[in-house]
Chains A and B, each alone.
Chain A
Amino acid sequence: ELKVEQNPLFLSMQEGKNYTIYCNYSTTSDRLYWYRQDPGKSLESLFVLLSNGAVKQEGRLMASLDTKARLSTLHITAAVHDLSATYFCAVDISSGSARQLTFGSGTQLTVLP
């Protein structure tokens, strides 16, 4: 059974600081997604990482994927309050005939002024 572990689960950080969220998974996959969820809202797609070494950046967020280490990171640069949300990684273990994402537990990020 695929296990997807995110850490930390809770993160409070000061505005302007940098931090990294980690997503470890237990089986082979070369496709991983990052989503953001605001309280009471649905999931918003942030990044899709499709191969080993993939790096994507959008604003203050940068995601990377190391398929050999089975690790993805979401790096936050110079955090601002608007980034406060819960962030999920999702590992895609879809096969040729079956689609399935397995989500991590989420990291609840609070950016403090």
Chain B
Amino acid sequence: KAGVTQTPRYLIKTRGQQVTLSCSPISGHRSVSWYQQTPGQGLQFLFEYFSETQRNKGNFPGRFSGRQFSNSRSEMNVSTLELGDSALYLCASSLDFDTQYFGPGTRLTVL
């Protein structure tokens, strides 16, 4: 069974640009969550989608947004990038309220 996939794996952007990250969940999983991981703040919850609906959102500014498609694939978007947005962005999928399985992550560097 294929795991969670994320694209791209690495990304370099400059301040002020925007970026879109993609996540394909494990087949059959309808819940997709996004996390930001940084050395200073650790793993922080961004948002969670289930059946194309955002069920929960973490404490991040409105520059961070996401969506989920009918095939459960999800994208997150960050607009007006700041240096502090440099991080590893992790996507996790689950059937519903059960174990989350994480993808390999997208390493975003903002210059």
Q: In the complex, are the beta carbons of B90 and A99 less than 8 A apart?
A: no
Q: In the complex, are the beta carbons of B31 and A43 less than 8 A apart?
A: no
| Stretch in B42-50, B60-68, B73-81 touching the partner | B42-50
Q: Chain A: which residue is nearest B3 at the CB level?
A: A42
Q: In the complex, are the beta carbons of B42 and A106 less than 8 A apart?
A: yes
Interface bin, chain B: 20 to 34
Interface flag for B15 (CB, 8 Å):
no
Per a CB cutoff under 8 Å, which of B58, B92, B99 touches A48? B99
Once the chains are docked, how many angstroms separate the CA of A48 from the CA of B99?
7
Once the chains are docked, how many angstroms separate the CA of A90 from the CA of B99?
11
CB within 8 Å of A: which B16-65 residues: 31, 33, 35, 42-45, 48, 50, 55-56, 58
Q: In the complex, are the beta carbons of A45 and B101 less than 8 A apart?
A: yes
CB within 8 Å of B: which A91-113 residues: 92, 94, 97-106
Query: Which B residues contact A (CB, under 8 angstroms)?
Result: 31, 33, 35, 42-45, 48, 50, 55-56, 58, 90, 92, 94, 96-105
A3-26 CB mask vs B (1 if < 8 Å, else 0) is 000000000000000000000000
Q: In the complex, are the beta carbons of A99 and B33 less than 8 A apart?
A: yes
Given the interface contacts A43-B90, A98-B55, A101-B33, does A33 sit within 8 Å of B99 by beta carbon? yes
Q: Chain A: which residue is nearest B54 at the CB level?
A: A98
Q: Closest approach, in angstroms, between the C-beta of A49 and any C-beta of chain B?
A: 11
Q: Closest approach, in angstroms, between the C-beta of B39 and any C-beta of chain A?
A: 10
Contacts A90-B43, A103-B35, A103-B42 known; list 17 others, CB within 8 Å. A42-B103, A42-B104, A43-B90, A45-B99, A92-B97, A94-B97, A97-B55, A98-B48, A98-B55, A98-B56, A99-B33, A99-B96, A101-B33, A101-B45, A105-B42, A106-B42, A106-B43
Once the chains are docked, how many angstroms separate the CA of A48 from the CA of B97?
12
